[in-house]
Structure 1
């Protein structure tokens, strides 16, 4: 094998004369394709006044000095154009568009930034996520904005006996909880220590009755004083 399998860099053969020529050829190739940033991807022929080190992704239908090198990397090196054929998985930054591209084996496509976040086991933003809190955010505020109309924040549970709620904490210890806690009634709970909880308000999921101090109101609004 005379070249490397991935970047096609030339090896220096045993007892080879002028080893520096082969070595420099490999260095020039590395300089062109490593940390790849190109000026553009729309040209089909060379620009008029290239600067040493300029790189371009050649658009389809190349002509002139670029003819036959569609989709390759054209690099202006030492006063001449050098061409490097991309392999599947190559990434390139297009400076003129401030865009990241990936070569899929047939074409340069926009690298989908969101794809890396699909089905990931956990995400920590400015903090560390864990197997319980798989999405963790440490921030002064969190914004969930609309996309042109309304916006819903959804918390789904598996069954009525499970919990879907908003838990408000102090020092990671619960102080108030609002949601469906162990049933399908809307409940507001409070706690002074995070261990002992009191149901302050219950709205019956079937009747809409509101109970204050009682979990089973018999009237549209029922208030009971449970203090001794």
Structure 2
């Protein structure tokens, strides 16, 4: 019930008809006039400050600061000014009144501090904590969208733009990740971007857990690197590159392919049981058995020093590399066995050095370089020491091969030194080590090594040429 003393409504200030009032139609018409102004309210403008001379009947304006005119000058800023029956009337808008501004085509609302734009038609949004389109954003995904297509197009010059469209994505530092992750059933399948460094990388995955780098663009040179180049490299090379945890780069990848191609062409690839390019781009690649990655890979013992593109260096006291491969396994029931090692450094030329030998058991496959006596010697399937005479240097490619049951041949840099008599007695089953022979250790640097079936002089020369080409092209020697 309306209190008897009330003269008008609480919110819109509509005048009430009073009991016993004369000319009630005047009060009623005044109330209807206010309703006509306030219901579905629309104003001509909120920026016009000069009172119009010939306004339309019923015209509404929101008065700005410093409005001028006979009627407007006395009205408060922010008030509604209505033209009716030849005159202007000021109306105080109630809080919450929504008004459509015709000359701006926007919706505004009256608040405690004045007129503000309605958020439903924002000009800009700042400092949002989350935004979801068709779904709900969360702490991990401050922006989330669930839709079937999206369009981004450049603002044209005619619209005040430049006609260009550029997305700028930024990360804090080189070690961070900036990428596009492509998923299938919420499981990652491809990732493109700056992933942990500043080179452009494409990675792929079959299951979202195991990832393989497929392409890398060097940020300095612009060169493309293909860790796995199925269409360009032979299967044996692909097998090697797939086993590398880090890409060797395009140049090294093709040089490895050239080396394997040369060994295959000479019929040597099938004769090898192990091939180690220890002067590799990183230590994981240096340990890898390129002939069968994952089988008889090198196992460093007591931390021989490694330097990229140089190889492993022994300390002469206890550091060495275990092949896990025995001479008896190499021979596979026969007598023919060969082994080679490429030394780029020998810091103790005055003492005997043992770059290859058994880690325990019978010494039936070992090499010795003895500068003090001028001899390069070896044991291969016998306890009898085969002496090859003086090697031209204490570094280079040393190779031994048992060519039958009666003789062993020695080579330096692919050149035959001697083939002395050495009766075969059998091979031991202990593991073969690099930079070690039983309790003796080498302090030199190994750039490459190999183990396999016996080879003749022509085969040794071909293997040396292929290995020397790789070492030269990669800058090792």
* Contact preservation (8 Å) 1:211, 1:221: no
Shift of 1:89: 9.4
Is 1:95 the counterpart of 2:102? The answer is yes
State the secondary structure of the residue aligned to 2:74.
coil
Is 1:133 the counterpart of 2:141? The answer is yes
Shift of 1:107: 8.8
State the secondary structure of the residue aligned to 2:68.
coil
Stretch of structure 1 that moved more, 139-148 or 59-68 = 59-68
Are the structure 2 counterparts of residues 222 and 145 from structure 1 closer, same or farther at C-alpha, using a change threshold of 3 Å? farther
- Deviations along 1:173-202, one digit per CA (max 9) or x if unpaired, are 322110011222211011223232221112
Shift of 1:151: 3.2
Q: Find 2:129's aligned residue among 100, 103, 121.
A: 121
Is 1:167 the counterpart of 2:181? The answer is yes
Stretch of structure 1 that moved more, 135-144 or 57-66 = 57-66
How does 1:1-228 map onto structure 2 within 5 Å? 9=13, 18=19, 32-33=37-38, 36-41=41-46, 42=48, 44-45=51-52, 47-51=54-58, 54-58=59-63, 60-69=66-75, 71=77, 72-75=79-82, 81-85=88-92, 92-100=99-107, 113-115=122-124, 117-137=125-145, 138-145=147-154, 147-213=161-227, 215-220=246-251, 222=253
Structure 2 stretches lacking a partner, 5+ long: 1-5, 156-160, 228-240, 258-289, 294-477
How many corresponding residue pairs? 220
Counterparts of 1:180 and 1:48, CA distance in 2: 64
RMSD over aligned CA atoms reads 4.6
Counterparts of 2:40 and 2:187, CA distance in 1: 47
Counterparts of 1:205 and 1:102, CA distance in 2: 54
Larger radius of gyration: 2
Are the structure 2 counterparts of residues 156 and 34 from structure 1 closer, same or farther at C-alpha, using a change threshold of 3 Å? farther
* Contact preservation (8 Å) 1:44, 1:58: no
State the secondary structure of the residue aligned to 1:82.
strand
Counterparts of 1:133 and 1:48, CA distance in 2: 53
Counterparts of 2:186 and 2:219, CA distance in 1: 29
Stretch of structure 1 that moved more, 157-166 or 168-177 = 168-177
Name the one with the larger helix percent.
Answer: 2
Stretch of structure 1 that moved more, 92-101 or 179-188 = 92-101
Are the structure 2 counterparts of residues 201 and 57 from structure 1 closer, same or farther at C-alpha, using a change threshold of 3 Å? same
Counterparts of 1:125 and 1:9, CA distance in 2: 42
Counterparts of 2:30 and 2:206, CA distance in 1: 72
Stretch of structure 1 that moved more, 64-73 or 150-159 = 64-73
Higher relative contact order (CA 8 A, sep 6+): 2
* Contact preservation (8 Å) 1:210, 1:222: no
Counterparts of 2:32 and 2:195, CA distance in 1: 65
* Contact preservation (8 Å) 1:73, 1:83: yes
Shift of 1:102: 7.0
Are the structure 2 counterparts of residues 129 and 106 from structure 1 closer, same or farther at C-alpha, using a change threshold of 3 Å? closer
Are the structure 2 counterparts of residues 49 and 30 from structure 1 closer, same or farther at C-alpha, using a change threshold of 3 Å? closer
* Contact preservation (8 Å) 1:209, 1:221: no
* Contact preservation (8 Å) 1:176, 1:189: yes
Counterparts of 1:175 and 1:159, CA distance in 2: 25
Are the structure 2 counterparts of residues 163 and 27 from structure 1 closer, same or farther at C-alpha, using a change threshold of 3 Å? farther
* Contact preservation (8 Å) 2:226, 2:249: no
Shift of 1:119: 0.6
State the secondary structure of the residue aligned to 2:75.
coil
